[in-house]
Structure 1
Amino acid sequence: MLTRVKDKFGLVPDWMIADTAYGSGPMLGWLVDRKIDPYIPVIDKSGRPDGTWTRTDFDWDAENNQYICPEGHALKQFRRNYSDPNRGPTGKGRAKYRALKLTCQVCPSKPKCCPNADARSITREEHEDARQVARDLAKTDEYVIAMKLRKKVEMLFAHLKRILGLGRLRLRGPCGANDEFLLAATAQNLRKLAKIIPAPQQIRKA
């Protein structure tokens, strides 16, 4: 949709508001690559039900391409230098970072980290940098304002579906859908206008 708007009207937004359905890694990566700030909740399934350390408890060291655990140990994707570049880190797809087994076995925090595994491993998504950008934006005051604006827009769509009965479009084709939606939006605006402007009071004759 953003591409069509850009091609037709030449408009490029500086930021975008959406719900969690648009918080996937590829979607966030697409927005960040085009310098569009994503005010979108991130789809994050890194939580662990057993109460052990999650991925957010580990610090990402981008310079050395590794994670650092709370105890200060490194989790690396590769621990050797490959002469063939195709065998080394490519930066595409998922990457798995592992700690050394000997390090985890003697670590005092092993019950909090990996009680049922010999060593801790963390999976990093391809668009994790973009996901982190969205997480950082979620901590700002602008994000709170964006969520309030999103609620106002979504309430209008909910009103169209529940009150005006626009659960589905009955006219076929883009033109029919455009006409039907335009009529529904007009009816919605007239209802709002009737609440804002009071009706003239009739003067009764004595």
Structure 2
Amino acid sequence: MRPLIGISTYRELAQWGTWHVPAVLLPASYADAVAQAGGEPVLLPTGAVSAEVVARLDGLVVAGGADVDPARYGQPAGPHTAVVRPERDESELVALEAALDRDLPLLAICRGMQLLNVALGGDLLQHLPDVEGAGTHDPGPGLYEQREVRTEPGTRLHRLLGPTAPVACHHHQAIDRIAPGLTPTAWAEDGVVEGVEAAGRRFCLGVQWHPEEGTDHRLFAAHVAAC
């Protein structure tokens, strides 16, 4: 049987046909990547996620999206942290805690990696362009910055991707203080942390880039295999 892979979702005002209403949604590239890797994608609606639901899954993908509420890591919101979704933070933290408690294979993407770091006690840089020496990681709405990441030898990311890999980035925030239990395992050319892993777990991997974009789905294949 194909493993059931839960994917967190957005809750946004959306328009289609004659409707313009709040909707639970997700870019199709996430579900497509999971399905192509051999998993059965299950969308987890923001605001209706419980530990009981996660217990029925074989794995979890935490998707990208809006900024994590800085109150979650004890900071006031900076001037560029304008779009937060506290309800989504709450739902995904429930899912993350349940997945970690059960040691479910976990793939956390972009915002997902940031939330994983916050959930385990780390914090974030709220606006990368304010950091001296940081390159472009968000080229604008709907666009991805093509960067190359370097992976740490001996890590899961290194085994899966090799010493370097081209990636598609779209983020204006990044991990600052790394949570206990997480280890940085990939970096952009400017030194920004682009990947983290948790040792001693079946599969617990966070990447700051968007592996669902493009045709390289090796991370999804490894995640599904672990499930």
* TM-score grouping bracket, smaller chain normalisation: under 0.3
Higher relative contact order (CA 8 A, sep 6+): 2
**Greater helix fraction, Structure 1 or Structure 2:** 1
Taking structure 2 as the reference length, the TM-score comes to: 0.24
Taking structure 1 as the reference length, the TM-score comes to: 0.26
- Greater Rg by CA: 1
